Amino acid sequence: MLEFNSTRKRMSVIVRFEGKLLLLCKGADSVMFERLGENGREFEEDTRKHVDEYADAGLRTLILAYRELTEEEYKEFNERFKAAENSVSADRETMINEATELVERDLVLIGATAVEDKLQQGVPDCIDKLAQAGIKLWVLTGDKMETAINIGFACSLLRQGMKQIIITLETPEIKQIEKKGEKGPIAQASKKSVLQQISEGKDLIAFLGKNEAFALIIDVVCSFVICCRSSPKQKALVTRLVKEETGKTTLAIGDGSNDVGMLQEADIGVGISGVEGMQAVMSNDIAIAQFKFLERLLLVHGHWCYRRISSMICYFFYKNVTFGFTLFCYEAHASFSGQAAYNDWCMSLYNVFFTSLPVIARGVFDQDVSATYCLKFPLLYQEGVQNVIFSWRRIIGWMLNGVCAAVIIFFLCIRALDPQAYKKDGKTAGLDIVGSTIYKCVFWVVNCQMAISISYFTLIQHIFIWGGVCLWYSFLLAYGAMSPSISTTAYKVFIEALAPSASYWLITLCVVIAALTPYFSYKSIQMRFFPMYHEMIQWIGHDGRSDDPEYCNMVRQRSIRHTTVGDMARSMARTNPLTGSTHRRR
C-alpha cells in the first residue's frame, strides 16, 4: 500500500491477481490525468466531461486508474521502497515519494467516482449569522473549483449578484492587482458590490508569498474567500499567511484528520466530532458535535466571555484605585508621616476576601444581553472584534472613577468627623475612628458600585455582594473575640465609638451616595445621548419593543455605522430575520 499524503494527493495498492501484478490507483484529477500513459487516455475526454458535471452538481470526485507491472519492475520498486521506509534520515519522505514515482506512471484510465457530501443541518443559517456578525469567512477545501462553488451556494456562503474574482497563476488577474489595491480590479469592484474570491490553494499560497499586501486587500474588501484544491499542508500555510499578514485572530474549524494542520496553525482550533473520526477533536482547543453549534459558541458565549472578562478587569482597577488612593490622600493630609490609616488585617484581607468574590461572580455569571438577543442581533459580536469594552479609554475611565470616588470618600469623611465627638467620655474622633470610617465607606462604595453596574443578577451574585458585607461585620466580631487585650483594634473602635453613633451611619449613607453620583450621572447621560450597541438592545427588551421590526432595524442600522464598508454591505445584503426578506440562494 502506497499511503495518501498532502503532496501526492493519491494512494495506490499493488495486488497479485490471477498471476498478474496490478497497481490500482485513485486520486485527484489534478494529479491523475498527468500520470496517464499514451495508451491509457481512451476515456480521458469523456471522464473529464463527467467529472465537470459531477462537480457542478456539488459531488466530490476521484479518478481511478491502473497499471500492470512486470516482476522486474516490482522487484526494483520493492527494494527501493523498503530501503526508503527503513531509512532514518531527514529526507525519508522524499525517498519514499521518489520510489513511488517509479510505478505510479503510464497509468490506464478506468473512470471516475462521485459521492455526495451532505451538509449538516443548520449549516446555512449558522454561516449566515456569522457573516452578519462581521466575521470574515474563508473556506479551504480539497474539492474542485466547481464543487467548491456549488457547496458555497448550498451553505449560503455565496449569493447571486456577487462579483466573483477567480485567482490562478495562469490568469491575467494576478498581474492586475496592485500592492496597495487602490486602483486594481478588486478595489474598483468593491465599490459596487460585495466580492467573493475563488482561488486554488497552490496559486493563493504562491501569490501571497510574492505580494504580502494581497492578504490584507482580500481581508478588507472581499466578503468570502474559497480556496479549492487545497492539500492539508496548504490549508495550514494559508491559515498562517492570513494570520501573519492581516494581524487578525483566526479560528479554524474542521472535522477530519486532513484539517489537523489548519486547526493547530490557527489561533483557535474547533474540532467537530463525528463520522470523520476523532483526530480533529484531539488536536484542537474546543470540541463541538455539530457545525451549527459554532453560532452559539461565538455569538453568545464569545460575546458574554469577552464582556465578563473585560468588565472584571476594569472593576479590579477601579476597586484597587479607590482603596489605594484613599491611602495616598490620608498620607498627604498627614504630611506623609507614615501613620497607617487602616488596620493591618483590614488592608491584607481587602482583596483576598472582602471584595474578591463579587468580582469573580461577575466574571462568571454576568450577561449584558440574553442569548436570544445575541442571536437576533449578530453585529453585537463586533463589540469584541473592535475591542469596545476593553479599550484604554474605558480602562482609564474606570481608574478615574476610582480616583473621584476616593477623593469624595476621604474629604467627606475628614470634614464630617473633624468637629464630631463619638466617644462616651467626650473625646474627639482620633486616627482609628477616621481610618475605620473611611475603610467602611470604601467597602460599601465598591460593593454598591458592583451592584449598580451588573446587568444580570443571580442568586450567587446577591450572596457574594451582600454576603461580603455581612462577612466584614462578622470578621469584626471574630477579630474582637480573638484579640480582647488589644484596645486599638478595629473591633474596639467600631463597637465602642462608631456603632452606637447615628451620625456614623448617616455619614456612611451620604458618602456612599456622593461617591456613586459621578458614575451614575455619566452613565445616565451616556445611555440617553450616546448609547452603545448592547445598551440599545437592552432597552429593546425593557420597553417591550422587541417585536417592532422598524425599531429593531433602526438599531441594526445604527450599529452598521461602526463597522467597515465590507461588513455594512454584507449586513445589508443578508437575511433580515424580523421582516423575512432574503437575498440569498439556498
Q: Which residues are annotated as a binding site for Mg(2+)?
A: 255, 259
- DSSP readout, 27-73? E-HHHHGGGB-GGG-TTHHHHHHHHHHHHHTTEEEEEEEEEEEPHHH
| Binding site as annotated, residues | 4, 26, 60, 141-143, 229, 235, 255, 258-259
| Contact (CB, 8 A) for 109 and 542 | no
Q: Give me the residue label for grid cell 459621578.
A: 518
**Residue 349 class from Cβ within 10 Å (0-12 exposed, 13-18 middle, 19+ buried)?**
middle
Contact 321, 351 (CB under 8 A): no
Cell numbers 470616588 correspond to 405
And the C-alpha cell for 94? 522524499
C-alpha cell, 459: 442568586
- The C-alpha atoms of residue 344 and residue 483 are separated, in whole angstroms, by 14
The β-bridge partners of 66 are 24, 108
- Residue 301's CB is within 10 A of a number of other CB atoms, namely 12
Distance CA 44, CA 51 (A): 10
Query: What is the Cα–Cα distance from 176 to 105, expressed in whole angstroms?
Result: 38
Instruction: Extract the annotated binding site for ATP.
Output: 4, 26, 60, 141-143, 229, 235, 258-259
Dihedral of CA 565/570/576/582: which sign? positive
DSSP label at residue 107: B
For residue 184, the SS3 value is coil
Distance (Å, rounded) from C-alpha 269 to C-alpha 304? Answer: 19
**CA quadruple 555, 525, 458, 388: dihedral, nearest 10:** 60
**Any idea which residue has 505580494 for its cell?**
211
Q: Residue 265 is which amino acid? A: E
Task: List Cβ neighbours of 476 (8 Å cut-off, separation of 6 or more).
Answer: 490, 491, 494, 495
Residue 409: other Cβ atoms inside 10 A: 27
524's grid cell: 445616565
Residue with cell 453613633: 501
Coil, helix or strand for 159?
coil
Per-residue cell: 473: 461585620
Q: Which alpha helices (H) appear in 418-499, and where do they start and end? A: 431-453, 459-482, 490-493
Chain length of the chain: 586
Of 480, 477, 481, 490, nearest to 437 (Cα)? Answer: 490
Tell me the C-alpha to C-alpha distance, in Å, between residue 372 and each of 33, 109, 368, 376, 561.
52, 55, 12, 6, 23
**Considering only CA atoms, which of 237, 244, 236, 201 is closest in space to residue 219?**
244
Burial string for 355-391 (b: 16+ CB within 10 Å, else e) reads bbbbbebbbebbbbbeeebbbbbbbbbbbbbeebbbe
